[in-house]
Structure 1
Amino acid sequence: MSYKIAFFDIDGTLLDEEKQIPQDTIDAIREIQEQGVEAVIATGRAPYFFKDIAEKLAINSFVSLNGAYVVYNGVPVYHNPIPRTDVKALVEHAGLHNHSLVFEGHDAFFSNAEAHPQVFDSVTSLRVAQPGFDPGYWEKADIYQIFLHCEPQDEHLYTDVIPGLRYIRWHPFAMDVLTNDGSKALGIAALLKHLGLTAEEALAFGDGLNDKEMLETVGLGIAMGNSHPELLPFADYVTTHVSENGIRNGLRHAGLLK
């Protein structure tokens, strides 16, 4: 199979534990770009969380916010915001349990708690700026994803409470909240349709629980050597660790690099 497009998760895939892009990863992606293969970021992050990463890799297209907001060459081609009724229901339910929320639009994000330690800790782990404070932001803008701040022992408080929402943990204090049908796979499918490509012509790299659907959707799903163990059954191939030429070795397996 001659793959025409490659999707790359960010944290743990493009970025190592120090939130740096290994030089070999930069070189490997440049090499496939020079061959005409489209390189696309596919991440749970919002666009304002990875602008510098995209610039460093000369990538202009992305599937962001776990598939809810998709841009091709700087132009939005798909968006799937959370219904405002579901956001409202979550605001009310989280409020009953004193769990803070961060609302993510496509160009800004705001918390409903000011100087909350769990918000600070989780957002700091991404090495990005802290959110602003605006409890009513969700009433004024489309919200594509929400950070729900609660510890694992409290997850059961949200199970099946709001049927339209699903939750994916990414930090000891935080979970991504997205639409029940939302995933990177949905955004990838929209971009492939826009480009007139088939899933079989695409490959994807990931390492986290929010990459399951993505790896299943594409023609070749590659899990990083440092992946969450629960991701591995969804991969067609497991490459090496992000810091051990994982991207290059995966692209070699795909036949895109020698």
Structure 2
Amino acid sequence: MEDLLKKAKEIKIIFFDIDDTLRVKDSAFMPESVNEVFEKLRAKGIMTGIATGRNLLGVVPEVRALQPDFYVAINGAYVENAQTQEVIYKNVFPTILVEEIISWLRAEKSEYSFVASDSLRVSKWDDIARNAIGPVYADLEENANYYKTNDIYQMLTISDHDDQLILPETLADKIRMVRWHPNSSDIVPMKGSKAIGCQKVLELLNLAPENMMNFGDELNDRELFDFAGLSVAMKVSHPEILEKADFITDSVENDGILKALKTLNIID
């Protein structure tokens, strides 16, 4: 614990995942203690950021109301100064790559979603898509050609056999899949991750990884847990994230973030 307290003294910015970290994904519950956390961090001069697989459309009003300093969205592919709306970094899929992914998924009889910076479209909106994406983004429009007129930062697989999808050799060195739901996986650039997005913020601020802390729970936080100086996993986290964590805290419903920051003497 002494080593953790020492690391905590170096923290100047903290990034938070949204789903099952700041708020419960299925019920949308977010404890009042989260507002207290952001107010106290702001008062101490510690910056905050949201690091999420969601795009800006998925950053719900109650999270925006926390007034974070940065958004690291779409698993690090789109980074924005939340106060000025200045784009700090973006990593767009080339059109030819999108078309290769579509061809593969069609051959595998999987539907898909396009993720733009602040919008999403699906190839087919059915019960499978509604079950996977609905709790995060609500109902979405169908548009299989959305990529032709919009920058695409990420795609999602949508199928009832998602666990059987295997990237072909022609794509395996360009993209990777990160499962986030039984019926859906994020399709991200081979070198894309929340860690890269957060690194862009640190470079802007002239900070080191040792100055950064993060809270998360799922596999799309994996690289971030390897990168940050101090990483905290929620009690309900994926086993791999629990193993990587420097500290494990309670669930959202039990004020896990507040408890961790108090235990580590970051806030009173």
Tell whether 2:112 aligns with 1:104: no
Tell whether 2:229 aligns with 1:219: yes
The separation in 1 between residues aligned to 2:42 and 2:168, in whole angstroms, is: 42
Answer yes or no: is the 8 Å Cα contact 1:54–1:60 preserved in 2.
no
Answer yes or no: is the 8 Å Cα contact 1:183–1:210 preserved in 2.
yes
Report which stretch shifted further, 150-159 or 137-146: 150-159
For residue 59 of structure 1, report the CA deviation from its aligned partner.
Answer: 2.0
- The one-character-per-residue Cα deviations of 1:21-48 (angstroms, maximum 9, x if unpaired) are 1111221222111211111100000101
Q: Which residue of 1 aligns with 2:98?
A: 87
Answer yes or no: is the 8 Å Cα contact 1:150–1:175 preserved in 2.
no
Answer yes or no: is the 8 Å Cα contact 1:86–1:165 preserved in 2.
no
Instruction: Give secondary structure in 2 for the equivalent of 1:133.
Output: coil
For residue 18 of structure 1, report the CA deviation from its aligned partner.
Answer: 1.6
The separation in 2 between residues aligned to 1:38 and 1:117, in whole angstroms, is: 40
TM-score of the aligned structures, taking structure 1 as reference length:
0.93
For residue 143 of structure 1, report the CA deviation from its aligned partner.
Answer: 0.7
Answer yes or no: is the 8 Å Cα contact 1:43–1:65 preserved in 2.
yes
Aligned residues: 256
The separation in 1 between residues aligned to 2:194 and 2:135, in whole angstroms, is: 21
Q: Which residue of 1 aligns with 2:212?
A: 202
The separation in 1 between residues aligned to 2:130 and 2:170, in whole angstroms, is: 26
- Kindly report the root-mean-square deviation, in angstroms, between the aligned alpha carbons of the 2 structures: 1.6
| Aligned residue among 33, 46, 58 for 1:49 | 58
| Aligned residue among 157, 164, 168 for 1:155 | 164
| Aligned residue among 2, 14, 17 for 1:9 | 17
The separation in 2 between residues aligned to 1:149 and 1:84, in whole angstroms, is: 20
Answer yes or no: is the 8 Å Cα contact 1:102–1:111 preserved in 2.
yes
For residue 60 of structure 1, report the CA deviation from its aligned partner.
Answer: 4.4
Unaligned runs of 5+ in 2: 1-8
For residue 159 of structure 1, report the CA deviation from its aligned partner.
Answer: 5.7
Unaligned runs of 5+ in 1: none
- The one-character-per-residue Cα deviations of 1:176-206 (angstroms, maximum 9, x if unpaired) are 1110111100000011101111111110000
Task: Identify if the C-alpha distance between structure 1 residues 9 and 159 changes in structure 2 by more than 3 Å, giving closer, same or farther.
Answer: farther
TM-score of the aligned structures, taking structure 2 as reference length:
0.90
The residue correspondences of 1:173-188 to structure 2 (distance < 5 A) are 173-188=183-198
The separation in 2 between residues aligned to 1:196 and 1:228, in whole angstroms, is: 32
For residue 155 of structure 1, report the CA deviation from its aligned partner.
Answer: 3.1
- The one-character-per-residue Cα deviations of 1:140-183 (angstroms, maximum 9, x if unpaired) are 22111111113456434326451211111111111111101111
Identity over aligned residues, as a percent? 29
Task: Identify if the C-alpha distance between structure 1 residues 156 and 103 changes in structure 2 by more than 3 Å, giving closer, same or farther.
Answer: closer
Q: Which residue of 2 aligns with 1:77?
A: 88
The separation in 1 between residues aligned to 2:162 and 2:68, in whole angstroms, is: 39
Task: Identify if the C-alpha distance between structure 1 residues 161 and 232 changes in structure 2 by more than 3 Å, giving closer, same or farther.
Answer: farther
Task: Identify if the C-alpha distance between structure 1 residues 23 and 92 changes in structure 2 by more than 3 Å, giving closer, same or farther.
Answer: same
Report which stretch shifted further, 170-179 or 143-152: 143-152
Answer yes or no: is the 8 Å Cα contact 1:102–1:131 preserved in 2.
no
Answer yes or no: is the 8 Å Cα contact 2:47–2:69 preserved in 1.
no
| Aligned residue among 30, 39, 44 for 1:21 | 30
The separation in 2 between residues aligned to 1:38 and 1:236, in whole angstroms, is: 20
Provide runs of 4+ in structure 1 moved above 6 Å.
none
Return the letter of the residue paired with 2:112.
L
The separation in 2 between residues aligned to 1:255 and 1:122, in whole angstroms, is: 38
Q: Which residue of 1 aligns with 2:131?
A: 121
For residue 76 of structure 1, report the CA deviation from its aligned partner.
Answer: 0.8
For residue 105 of structure 1, report the CA deviation from its aligned partner.
Answer: 0.6
